[in-house]
Chain A
Amino acid sequence: GNSVTQMEGPVTLSEEAFLTINCTYTATGYPSLFWYVQYPGEGLQLLLKATKADDKGSNKGFEATYRKETTSFHLEKGSVQVSDSAVYFCALWTYGGSQGNLIFGKGTKLSVKP
């Protein structure tokens, strides 16, 4: 079946450190891939997305590249800030006729220290 696996957290970094959160997926067909972010006390917000192989999604300094050969969509940021502290979810969109469904990973909590 379709699934998403992302690295276990929590991840604790100092400000300006480099961030990588790994995400791999299993899916039939050609899913769209997403990273969502959840700040404390809030719902999920779309951070970035990629809809086909080799696409790079980017937003707010975060990037992720859709790698079909390794079935991965790792999230990276060159220099994290305290305000990036949140839970990050990798997700894929599966298609079934006219239906669609988002499947999420378990989430990775990021804490950035000053």
Chain B
Amino acid sequence: ETGVTQTPRHLVMGMTNKKSLKCEQHLGHNAMYWYKQSAKKPLELMFVYNFKEQTENNSVPSRFSPECPNSSHLFLHLHTLQPEDSALYLCASSQLGGENTEAFFGQGTRLTVV
């Protein structure tokens, strides 16, 4: 148990569906992240939220829409995805501004777009 919980663990969705990934951190951190991990590609940072404000969006297509209602919860809303969006989506949290800078990761959501 890392203190970061992601649900669901697995998701299969059609290209016309709308779904959401959820991430919750129990560590009191002030920053949360979405990463995409595809086969044979490096981990890609998608979004960063710092104190609930989005501070980074690495040219992610608009079919991915993040939401951070508070510092403990992070969502990734999905709609009209493509098969190439199939990947492992990892959520992470960290405490910015202090000495301990490591990120803690959830176990990920394995997304398959059919």
By a beta-carbon cutoff of 8 Å, the part of chain A in contact with chain B is: 32, 34, 36, 42-46, 49, 51, 89, 93, 98-107
* A45-B2, A101-B45 known, 6 other contacts, Cβ within 8 Å: A32-B102, A36-B105, A43-B106, A43-B108, A102-B33, A106-B41
- B106 — nearest CB in chain A belongs to which residue? A43
Q: A43-B2, A46-B102, A93-B101 are in contact. Are A99 and B55 (CB under 8 A)?
A: yes
By the criterion CB–CB under 8 Å, are A104 and B96 in contact?
A: no
What are the residues of chain B within 8 A of A42 when measuring CB–CB?
Answer: 107-108
Is A104 touching B42 in the complex (CB atoms < 8 A)?
A: yes
Chain A residues closer than 8 Å to B108, beta-carbon distance = 42-43
A103 to B103, CA, bound (A): 11
**CB-CB < 8 A to A45: which residues of B?**
2, 105
B side interface size, CB within 8 A: 27
Query: What's the least CB distance linking A1 to chain B, in Å?
Result: 13
**Contact present for B107 and A99 (CB under 8 Å):** no
Is residue B50 contacting chain A, with contact meaning CB distance below 8 A?
A: yes
Contacts of B105 in A (CB 8 A): 36, 43-45
Interface membership of chain B positions 88-105, coded 1 if the CB is closer than 8 angstroms to chain A and 0 otherwise: 001010101101011111
Please tell me which one of the listed residues B4, B31, B41, B90 contacts residue A100 in the complex, with CB atoms under 8 A apart: B31
Across chains A and B, which 3 residue pairs bring their CB atoms closest together, nearest first?
A43-B105, A44-B105, A43-B107
Q: How far is the CA of A89 from the CA of B55 in the complex (A)?
A: 24
